[in-house]
Amino acid sequence: MNSKVKLILRSLLFFVILFALLIGSGFYFVPKWRGIDAELPRGFYHEEEDSLDVLLIGSCNIYTSFSPLLAYKDYGFKSYVFGTPDQDLNTSYYYFKEGLKSQKEIDVVVLESLFFTLGSTPKREYYNRTALDHMPFSLNKLQAIFDIGKEEAEFMSTVDPTAPSEALTYAGYIFPTLRYHNRDDLTQDDIDFWFDDENYRYTKGTNFLRSFIKNDTLSFNGINNGTEIKDLAKEYFLKIKDLAEDEGVKLIVVNSPNFYRWNRELVDEVKYFVEDHGVEFIDYFGNDDFTIYDVSEHTGRLNVYGVKKYTRLLSEELMNLKELEIKPATESVNNSWNQDIDRLYEELKNNKYTIDEGEIAFIKGEEDGLFIKWNDFLDDQTYHLYRALNDTEDYKLVVSTKDDYFLDTDVIDGEHYKYYLESLVQSEQSYSRVNDYVFLEPVDFVEKENSEEGLEVTWDNSHQDVEYILESKRNSSMNFSRVGSFEENQYTYTGDNPESTDFRVIRSVTVDDRQYYSKGCPLFSYNIND
């Protein structure tokens, strides 16, 4: 063999091996943007080929709103939320393409539309990495890198003199190992990372936001960062539409509920744009089915109860589509989905969440009564709430309502109440399990006085057989932490207190090994300089 040819072949082999080593090493020597949001899309690659009926793409506003598992349980179609944080439409386009590689039989693709108007330019590396790093190497990934990473690469190299060159930015996405050198160490965690996806892949791409709030001022007209549809969104919406048409997939666009991010003008702008291009838009803005109890604290997105509602509402829309034909699946696939559903319910149970319709979700002590929240059937239903005092009294009807919550103010301090719900849906009756709660009035008054020893707190102790819990927090963003629990009604706080601290006193009783709390007394603060 000619020495020149030999050299070329050897060089080629050398670089092929180097390429393989770089791709392979990327599994370990990669910046791990850990956190469930970043890791959820990885689960997609574990789905059985051509087993899905529906693919949902978009930002956090879809992967915190829709649960494929709950949809499967109630409606039987299989879906996956292939979403990433801050997913712009260019990323959605490549995710759609990526999805079609292994799920060629998809009937419907649902595009979440929050990022038609939102989104920063350029995207932060975190978002690009969470979108790109877990994608297996392919031509689609390369195209996505040069497209999605373009803004970052150009911005970084022109604005920030310490930033890497454009070529290095792209290379860092192709070979994540190139970004490894900024990491501090290589730990067992790095090795486990790629084998340890059981914990999040079972949700099929959903991140359940579990907290909820009761904030009367919260409404759909929240913060609005976007002002108009971005050019990028227009460009890639058309690409997504074309791709859907080419692949024979029905495209629908939705605006999943978000109490902070949407307003009527924005929704209409997106809706008219989408409909002008012949694509169906499902509008959830201002939907009466969602209340403040369906929203997650701080984020404005849906909590577990909201997810349950939204999944049902959207699933019904999907089921009405003639394009959706639920594919028969193998027994092992069905078994796997059923196991995942069991696991989800187990997980919810462990966290004391009940999401089945007609069941009481929770009871909470309020200042003037007990707040009872149940899961809505989202039909033209009537609910009858029944209550019994202790085990001695018969159940009596408290209220008949079409709402999914009730504040029971006809309650007496220290009494143990039991509730169950009767649901009347389309003339059919169903009954919830019994839930109970002990109503405790808030602590009436608190006196405080600074002494040489510290802060002397005295509170009302007219209630019998209760425990008083003093809690404190240093600043408004922190949670309250327990200072101590007392039977008497006095405490001298001598703790370290550089600035000021907020306090509250809570009453508590224990019945049948379960502890019940009053709504806390009004906050009072202590400043060392007082």
Partner 1 sequence: MIFNSIEYLLFLAIVFILHSLIPKKVRKYLLIIASFIFYASHQLSLTLVLIFLIVFNYLIGHRLRKNMESSKNKILLKLGIIINVLLLCFYKYIPALSAMLFKYSSDEKKISWIMPLGLSFIVFQLISYLVDSYKNKIEVEYSFIDFILYVSFFPKVIQGPIVKARDFLPQIGRKVSNELIGVGAINILWGLFMKMVVSDRIAMAVNTAYSSPREQTGWTLIIATCLYGLQLYFDFAGYSLIAIGSAKLFGVEFKSNFRMPYLSTSVSEFWRRWHISLNEWLLEYIYIPLGGSRRGFNRYVINILITFAISGIWHGSTLAFLIWGLLNGVYIIMEKIYSNYKEKKSKGTALQEEPLDYKHLVVTGKRIYVFVFISFTWLFFRAGNLLQSKVILWRVINRLQGDETMTAIGQMIAGNDATFMGMGLRDWKILVFFFIIGIIIDLIAQDKALDRILYQKPIWIKWPILYIIIFVIIIFGVYGYGYSANSFIYQQF
Task: Provide the binding-site residues for partner 1, judged by CB under 8 A.
Answer: 3-4, 6-8, 10, 14, 17-18, 21-22, 25, 29, 125, 156, 161-165, 167-168, 171-172, 175, 177-182, 184-185
CB of 1 to partner 1, least distance (A): 12
Q: Note the maximum CA span of the chain.
A: 102
In this complex, which beta carbon is closest to partner 1, that of residue 14 or of residue 431?
A: 14
Cα distances (angstroms) measured from residue 37 to each of 3, 59, 264, 337: 53, 10, 28, 21
In DSSP notation, 12-55 reads HHHHHHHHHHHHHHTTTSS----SHHHHGGGGGGGSPTT--SEE
List Cα–Cα distances, 446 to 318, 414, 530, in angstroms: 56, 20, 17
**CB closer to partner 1 out of 167 and 478:** 167
Residue 177 or 255: the one with the smaller Cβ distance to partner 1 is 177
State in angstroms the smallest separation of the CB of 180 from partner 1: 6
Structure tokens at 473: 């927090």
257/295 Cα distance (integer angstroms):
9
Q: How far is the CB of 27 from partner 1 (least distance, A)?
A: 14
Which residue reads 């109860």 in tokens? Answer: 305
Containing 501, the helix (H) or strand (E) segment is strand 500-511
Cis peptide leading into 122, omega within 30 of 0? Answer: yes
Residue 177, CA distances (Å) to 28, 52, 138, 162, 301 in order: 8, 33, 17, 20, 35
Shortest Å, Cβ 192 to partner 1: 19
What's the closest the beta carbon of residue 13 comes to partner 1, in angstroms? Answer: 9
DSSP-derived 3-state class of residue 471: strand
Taking the complex as a whole, how short is the minimal distance between the CB of residue 203 and partner 1, in angstroms? 33
Closest-CA residue to 307 (of 323, 284, 327): 284
Nearest approach in angstroms of CB 94 to partner 1 is 23
